[in-house]
Structure 1
Amino acid sequence: MATWLHGEVVENHAWNNELFSLRVRTEPFEFTAGQFVRLGLEHDGRRLQRAYSLVNAPHTELLDFLVNRVHDGEFSPRLHALQPGSVIQVSQPASGFFTLAEVPAGDSLWLMATGTGIGPYFSMLETPEPWQRFARINLVYAVRYEADLAYLPLIQSFQQKYPQQFRFQPIVSREPCAGALQGRIPALIAEGQLQRALDCPLDASAQVMLCGNPEMIRDARALLADMGLPKNLRRKPGNVTVEHYW
């Protein structure tokens, strides 16, 4: 049964009017990069709660959550309104199997996400494991507008630290953006644009992680299966590991 830790909001960082990072301090606990917890708020005598992936690495002091405000939602507008010093609850233990331990060996690791689905990848990339296991790491980050691209300073730090090993490709669907591709991830794969932009083959030597919009995951999974990259299962290892983010 889940237990709840008392947390204190340390920072509510706005990336734009709707997208924000909530930084929370709790007593230390263990988790694996890629896992999630539930955040809880007391309201009218009951606990409102929702699952969010941990963006921070397991060894860091503050918990970090990337959240998009849904105006007609019950929970995210309340998170959006929290200020430093606000009380929030964090569930224990952390859960989920969207971790690198579930990913078989490969030459390249493709981390593909839409929107806030990028969050667990940052947690993974701040650990030694991906850099030790894969010769090439490609981070693919799809959003609607350029202003939706969060954590760019962190991404730039990976580029500087691992210039030969790490590549970043933003995708912005609703406006032109320098350095970004335009369109949907599945279409860009089907046309070969994504592979050309990253100068890396997307074949049986690759391991792919998909996180975010269920439609993107559904279409990308089907396309990758047709390309000879089946879904990764414990009973039958493959090339594509998925996490439905909403």
Structure 2
Amino acid sequence: MAQWLSGSVTDNHHWHANLFSLKVKTDAFSFTAGQFVRLALNTDEGRLQRAYSLVNSPGSSEQEFLISTVAEGKLSPLLQQLKMGDSVELSQPASGFFVLDEVPEGDNLWLIASGTGIGPYLSMLGTHQLWQRFGHIVLVHSVRTIGDLVYRDLIGQYQHQYPGQLHYQPIVTREAHSGALNKRLPELIHSGELQRACQQTLNNRSQVMLCGNPDMIKDTKTTLESLGLKKNLRRAPGNITVEQYW
């Protein structure tokens, strides 16, 4: 049974009306980049809880979460309204196997996300392990609107810190945006447009992590398999490691 850790909100940054980042101060706890915890609020309807990936890297003094507000949801609209000093509970210990230790060696590492699925990758970017293991890292973020392209300043800091090692490729499907591609991920991979834009190969010597909505993962995985990549399993190591967000 999960144990609960009390936390206090230190910041609630609204990227736009339906997307926000929540920072919570807690006692220190251990986790691996890519893992998740549950956030919980006690309400008149009882305890409401849901799993969210940690955006911050291990060792941070605050825990951070990127959350999309679900209009018909019970918890996310309440989390969006939290202010500095408000209380929220976090489950312990952190969970999940969407971590770098589960990813085999490769010539390059593709971190492909849709929407809030970029969260665990931001946590990984703040670890030494990522940069030591892979000479070329490609962060692909597919979103609907320009306003969904979050944490660009932070990503830019990593590009400056590790020159030539990280390529960031935004994809915006419903608006035109300079530097962004504007087609669905499977189409971009199948045509080779994504690989050309990122100047990296996608083959059976690549490692790919997929995080986001199930449709994106299903269709992108199918396209990657057509290129000769295989799903990564502990009993049969491959190239594609997945995390579905719902």
Provide the TM-score with structure 1 as the length reference: 0.99
Alignment-derived partner of residue 232 in structure 1: 232
Alignment-derived partner of residue 139 in structure 1: 139
- Structure 2 letter corresponding to 1:55: V
Alignment-derived partner of residue 61 in structure 1: 61
How many angstroms apart in 2 are the aligned matches of 1:222 and 1:152?
A: 29
Alignment-derived partner of residue 169 in structure 1: 169
SS of the residue 1:41 aligns to: strand
Alignment-derived partner of residue 151 in structure 1: 151
Q: Aligned-pair distance for 1:96?
A: 0.1
- Structure 2 letter corresponding to 1:81: Q
Provide the TM-score with structure 2 as the length reference: 0.99
Alignment-derived partner of residue 218 in structure 1: 218
Alignment of 1:1-246 (within 5 A): 1-44=1-44, 46-246=46-246
- Structure 2 letter corresponding to 1:83: K
Question: Which blocks of at least 5 consecutive residues in structure 1 are unaligned?
Answer: none
What CA deviation, in whole Å up to 9, does each residue of 1:31-89 have, x standing for no partner? 00000000000011511000000000001100000001111111100000000011000
Task: Provide the identity percentage.
Answer: 57
Q: Quick check: 109-118 or 215-224, which moved more? A: 215-224
Moved over 3 A (4+): none
How many angstroms apart in 2 are the aligned matches of 1:62 and 1:156?
A: 21
How many angstroms apart in 1 are the aligned matches of 2:220 and 2:45?
A: 42
SS of the residue 1:174 aligns to: coil
SS of the residue 2:16 aligns to: coil
Q: Aligned-pair distance for 1:205?
A: 1.4
What CA deviation, in whole Å up to 9, does each residue of 1:110-129 have, x standing for no partner? 00000000000000010001
How many angstroms apart in 2 are the aligned matches of 1:164 and 1:48?
A: 44
SS of the residue 1:78 aligns to: helix
Question: Which blocks of at least 5 consecutive residues in structure 2 are unaligned?
Answer: none
| Count of residue pairs brought into register by the alignment | 246
SS of the residue 1:15 aligns to: strand
How many angstroms apart in 2 are the aligned matches of 1:92 and 1:74?
A: 22
